[in-house]
Chains A and B, each alone.
Chain A
Amino acid sequence: MLKCVHKTISVGVATLVLTSISAFAFDGKKDAVDGGMTYPRKDGVYTAYRYNDQKVPPISFGRKATPNELKAWNTDIMPDGTGLPKGKGTVGEGDELFEEQCAVCHGDFGAGGLGYPTLTGGDIASLTNQRTPGKTDAPKRTIGTYWPKASTLLWYIHDAMPYAHPKSLTWDETYAITAYLLATNEIQLDGKDMDDDTVLSNENFLKIKMPNEKGFIPNIDGPNGVKNVKAFLSDGKNIGAVGVRCMKDCKDDGAKLVVVKDPRTDVTPPFAEVKDLPKKKDNSVKPGQEEYEKSCAVCHGNDKMGAPDVGNKEAWAKVMKKGIDKVLATAIKGTGAMPPRGGSSYSDEKLKQIIEYMYSKSK
């Protein structure tokens, strides 16, 4: 079934360029939407596979979704405003919420610097930056310089953030935070700069103008969207699919060997290829460990956010000097960027157990 047509490579021709590969394996056609191959399904045969080709009426399982179920789950928001939920919030409200719930990871004003995504800053001109040898300025991909649609931001924040408690924000809060992030990115609403009192709501949401809306190719909108994608992906010059199957004396101008220098070794578990017995380790799960990993490690697993990081003796000695009761009380109330109960709903007793676990790992 696999037809390899061009098996002869004529030796003696200096550079052999095979422009039209005619080895259409499995009778495929180069007409897929991704510029690649589709293969026929015929008479129970699909490429190297057989399948059951009995003729049957449509097979039907499941049941009709109810209107309420559709309402409950169909919560996506599209660029044209489809699905925009009712709600409103001001930039100022968003500022407060962001500081409380987001800045711990994304930095003040979303300016990054803590290892989590940077949400603001940079300019569109930076998108042409290329860190080729000698150039160190990276392109800055933020909401203001890169994101094509504001609907993405509202939808994503509501569904996916804050990271450890997704879907916990009300729509009013989500509008407020979105307004704040747009404002810090100096994005305009209805042609005007946004200030603390600017209200963003489902009424005026479509008046946001995203600076990099036109920064993407091909055009996927409108009735020809899919056709455009297909045409774009089918032309190798657009996507770097320009390799040639040269066999002899092939040219690659200026190419020289670059061998890895100071290779990275920060991997877990460490590199090892030996076939030996593992060192015995204590695999038992300690009380509080599971809850720590689930609810606290996002902040306490590293030292980036100012949380006493687990494993850091000094930091934990300082915390525990106050005595467990005081520390527990602080953890229950929350302090600084530490939300009440670490954002969880664990009982006092469970929290104590978790804190003791964290301390035990930091002695």
Chain B
Amino acid sequence: MKKIDKPSTNDSSLVSNKSSRRDFFRKAAVYSASAVAASSLLSPVKLLAEGKDDEFIMEEQPWATSLGYELNKNPYGVPSPYEHNVVRRTTPLLSSAGDMHAAVSLTPLQDLKGIITPNGLFFTRTHNGVARIDYNKHRLMIHGMVKKPIVLTMDEIKRYPSESVIHFLECPSNGAAEWKTPQFDSLQFVKGMMSCTEWTGVRLKTILEDVGVDPKALWMLAEGGDGSSMSRTVPVEKVMDDAMIVYAMNGEALREEQGYPVRLLLPGWEANLCVKWLKRLEFGDKPWYCKEETSKYTTLLPTGKAIQHFYPLEVNSIITSPCPEKPWTDLKKGDIVEIEGLAWSGKGTITHVDISFDGGKNWVEAKLKGLVLPKAWTRFSYIYKYEGKELMLESRATDDSGDTQPTVNQEKKIMGVEGVYHRNSINTWYVKANGEVHNAQMRS
């Protein structure tokens, strides 16, 4: 047996004091490769010449010749350090004065698979920082036009029969930086103000059966327990349809950024309406006119009038592969490659996604894959033979309410370019002949 004179673990951050000369060269090679890579945005594409042996096959690797690290070293597991670039990102453009308490962080859609967003990558928007709430001291009050105003502790909320549902949440300003012209060359910044999760909680209707809502109540105020007491008005009709209060995402407690210990979930509607750190629900017969449904989250039209109470995120889609972060620069003419993307609609269920290669003149239907659920991310796929030609690549989704994504021009004609919110027109990726992908739009 070989004497083990290395650290008894191959925790990659600890792979270091190798002694042999061969190891030295091997290490030097690895380090210089990553030094080059670090200076570029994209992964280095390593093409191995035909007939040449791959050193990573020919030589034993440290992780195969040493003991791995103890299995519960991280009682709460963390991703491989090699994935450290897969993170949420922020920009001062989407903040006040670069201050990151009232700002937004965006999900790295370019690196996500399937339809579930890992909890640590869920996009976050706050108006007064992330509140840190003591689970034991949190209360939910339900009152107003009800027979029995009540107060619930968190443990009591969890006593109600629970349901789990998969829904996306999207900030209505997703893509808002792009109304006038493309500004970012990045999928993350073009569409990353959204995520999709399996939420667990209780249907609000279940609790309200006991509380007894006055049939004359038309509206419900939802108020958060954060510093800004973020609040919104919701029609009771939605509350009685599919509203929930949720305390878990993807099997664990809500993350603080997502409203720990409890938030409102209005499937398909503006994430801002899904009030985080939920502390109070009040029923009434008049709307409240909160700051976030007057000064903000209202859509100014070219007529000078603004739409207030604009709830659902309309049908939308985006190609996630290729994208500016994941280009086709490594492909050869004739390669068979999958075009993949996400489609979603807050008004219903995705029924079709079409793909265009010529900027929207002609379309072919893509296949849906995986779970196809209402108000949830839906994956689509199209297998394509790469030809090394310039493309204007687009996807266009349709939902069961009959809505199809508008073109940029169709949307602009009605909404103008100053509305900020609810942009869902067709996105274009400009694929250059060399496989680079850039953000673009087809517009007049």
The yes or no verdict on A and B being binding partners is: yes
A residues whose Cβ falls under 8 Å from a Cβ of B: 2, 4, 9, 18-21, 23-26, 28, 30, 32-39, 47-49, 51-52, 58-65, 69-70, 73-74, 76, 78-80, 82, 105, 114-117, 124-125, 127-132, 138-139, 141, 143, 146-149, 151-152, 155-156, 159-160, 163, 166-167, 215-218, 220-221, 223, 225-226, 229-230, 232-233, 236-250, 252-261, 263-264, 266-269, 271-278, 280, 297-298, 301-302, 304
B17 at the interface (CB under 8 A from A): no
B159 at the interface (CB under 8 A from A): yes
Query: A217 contacts B279, CB within 8 Å?
Result: no
Binary flags per residue of B327-364, CB closer than 8 Å to A gives 1, else 0? 00000000000000000011111011010000111111
**Smallest beta-carbon distance A179→chain B, Å:** 18
Query: Once bound together, how far apart are the Cα atoms of A143 and B295, in whole Å?
Result: 8
Asked whether A37 and B37 contact (CB < 8 A) given A243-B403, A243-B407, A278-B81, the answer is no
Q: CB within 8 A of B148: which of A25, A48, A64, A216?
A: A64
Closest B residue to A150 using CB positions = B289
Asked whether A274 and B42 contact (CB < 8 A) given A215-B305, A260-B185, the answer is yes
Binary flags per residue of B84-103, CB closer than 8 Å to A gives 1, else 0? 11010111110011110110
B219 at the interface (CB under 8 A from A): yes
Q: CB within 8 A of A249: which of B223, B311, B362, B404?
A: B362
Binary flags per residue of B207-238, CB closer than 8 Å to A gives 1, else 0? 10110000000110101000111010001111
Residues of B within 8 A of A65 (CB): 141, 143, 149-151
**Smallest beta-carbon distance B153→chain A, Å:** 7
Query: Once bound together, how far apart are the Cα atoms of A297 and B100, in whole Å?
Result: 10
Query: B312 contacts A302, CB within 8 Å?
Result: no
Residues of B within 8 A of A70 (CB): 141, 143, 149
Query: B304 contacts A215, CB within 8 Å?
Result: yes
Q: CB within 8 A of A302: which of B99, B235, B311, B400?
A: B99
Asked whether A62 and B37 contact (CB < 8 A) given A152-B289, A278-B81, the answer is no
Query: B181 contacts A258, CB within 8 Å?
Result: yes
Query: B290 contacts A152, CB within 8 Å?
Result: yes
Residues of A within 8 A of B221 (CB): 76
**Smallest beta-carbon distance A128→chain B, Å:** 4
Residues of B within 8 A of A247 (CB): 354, 362-364
Query: A239 contacts B407, CB within 8 Å?
Result: no
In B301-321, the 8 Å CB interface with A consists of 302-312, 314-315
Query: Once bound together, how far apart are the Cα atoms of A62 and B149, in whole Å?
Result: 10
Q: Is the interface of A mostly helix, strand, loop or mixed?
A: loop
Closest B residue to A143 using CB positions = B295
Query: Once bound together, how far apart are the Cα atoms of A203 and B406, in whole Å?
Result: 50
Query: A273 contacts B398, CB within 8 Å?
Result: no
Closest A residue to B189 using CB positions = A267
Query: A255 contacts B444, CB within 8 Å?
Result: yes
Query: A259 contacts B439, CB within 8 Å?
Result: yes
Binds A, one of B63-71, B115-123, B160-168, B379-387: B160-168
Query: B408 contacts A160, CB within 8 Å?
Result: no
Closest A residue to B358 using CB positions = A250
Query: A128 contacts B302, CB within 8 Å?
Result: yes
Query: B189 contacts A217, CB within 8 Å?
Result: no
**Smallest beta-carbon distance B286→chain A, Å:** 6
Asked whether A259 and B151 contact (CB < 8 A) given A25-B351, A233-B311, A298-B101, the answer is no
Total interface residues on B, CB under 8 Å, equals: 157
Closest B residue to A271 using CB positions = B41
Q: A266-B91, A272-B38 are in contact. List 4 more A-B contacts (CB 8 A).
A: A26-B349, A38-B242, A160-B229, A247-B363
Query: Once bound together, how far apart are the Cα atoms of A129 and B141, in whole Å?
Result: 43
Asked whether A266 and B93 contact (CB < 8 A) given A33-B238, A226-B237, the answer is yes
Residues of A within 8 A of B325 (CB): 271, 273
**Smallest beta-carbon distance B174→chain A, Å:** 15
Residues of A within 8 A of B227 (CB): 160, 166-167
Q: CB within 8 A of B349: which of A28, A32, A149?
A: A28
B392 at the interface (CB under 8 A from A): yes
Residues of B within 8 A of A159 (CB): 228-229
Query: A239 contacts B307, CB within 8 Å?
Result: yes
Asked whether A241 and B406 contact (CB < 8 A) given A34-B312, A52-B161, the answer is yes
Query: A250 contacts B362, CB within 8 Å?
Result: yes
Query: Once bound together, how far apart are the Cα atoms of A301 and B176, in whole Å?
Result: 26
Query: Once bound together, how far apart are the Cα atoms of A49 and B349, in whole Å?
Result: 14
Query: Once bound together, how far apart are the Cα atoms of A259 and B91, in whole Å?
Result: 21
Asked whether A298 and B99 contact (CB < 8 A) given A76-B288, A226-B219, A275-B85, the answer is yes
Query: A105 contacts B97, CB within 8 Å?
Result: yes
Closest A residue to B285 using CB positions = A223
Residues of A within 8 A of B354 (CB): 245, 247
Closest A residue to B110 using CB positions = A273
